[in-house]
Structure 1
């Protein structure tokens, strides 16, 4: 069963990675680079502070803890435990893949990019989605960043899907902790 799932994952990866076009390569490299998104993070922090003043501290810390938790679960637990090679490190796939940048670390399960971007998107949605329905666009952003990891041959689809789950779960845990702290301090639930 696991072998069939692995073969299906490789097959889907090869199909997705094979849908490249040269003009899209630099765009996907930009999307997949973590530093590309620092202006977005700065805007997000500024918006939270402007919109929520003192409450912003709790929201920002919840996002930071959520992203950090997702990253640690992906990088410090799953990758060393599972030891699944990234597709760009898999010798049998080298002639079939389209890598567009350096491969990165040896192991890829689960995707840290997927876990951290979905942790950020889910944290915002869980905390503020009722007041700001446009925050659902964060999930589209996280999906595009996650897809870029398949495009650049750094991850299989299941690496990304598992990373998505880790990110959403991390966000749910951290938001639950924030709600518990707010309830105990008498501040009530989110506005």
Structure 2
């Protein structure tokens, strides 16, 4: 059973990593996973929260940071060392199949911390702001998805890594949004 799941994961990885290979994605996907590329969005969220919601904006920012820290801690410090899965770009059995689009890094693969962190933040923001601004749902999910997809495309994660990260991040984001609403019931 586990072997057939791993074979499916590898086949899907290669379809995305090699099968979708093109010049546009080779340019775009490394940007999508780069934290500096998204810096203007992060700054916008900070300014928007403070300017629009004053004191409550600081609570929102604090909970975003708590959500991020929780997601990163659980994915990177708890689960990754326990599972200890090698990144595809460091897997010697498929070394000839890898297209090196970004530096691989020495970290572990399961779950994707990028996927966990960004889905956690996206779901937190969706849960907090959906009643006030409905477009946050598709925009937030697309943002987290494109970052996660880019991780597979550039070769640093398998599809199951990002799927597990997305599910874990969704759970963390939801729990943190419930905590925020208990702390700020009038929001």
TM-score tier after normalising by the smaller chain length: over 0.9
* Cα RMSD after superposing both structures: 1.2
Q: Give 1:22 deviation, angstroms.
A: 2.5
State the partner residue of 1:39. Answer: 40
User: In the TM superposition, what are the counterparts of 1:1-191 in structure 2 within 5 Å?
Assistant: 1-18=1-18, 19-136=20-137, 137-182=139-184, 188-190=185-187
**8 Å CA contact retained: 1:9, 1:158:** yes
For 1:112 and 1:106, the matched residues in 2 are separated by: 10
Q: Give 1:99 deviation, angstroms.
A: 2.3
For 2:178 and 2:124, the matched residues in 1 are separated by: 10
1:94 aligns to what SS in structure 2?
Answer: helix
For 1:141 and 1:181, the matched residues in 2 are separated by: 27
**8 Å CA contact retained: 1:17, 1:150:** yes
How many aligned residue pairs are there? 185
For 2:23 and 2:156, the matched residues in 1 are separated by: 17
For 1:74 and 1:130, the matched residues in 2 are separated by: 29
**Moved >3 Å (runs of 4+):** none
Q: Give 1:8 deviation, angstroms.
A: 0.6
2:102 aligns to what SS in structure 1?
Answer: coil
For 2:112 and 2:78, the matched residues in 1 are separated by: 12
Q: Give 1:114 deviation, angstroms.
A: 0.3
Q: Give 1:55 deviation, angstroms.
A: 1.1
Q: Give 1:61 deviation, angstroms.
A: 1.1
**8 Å CA contact retained: 1:16, 1:151:** yes
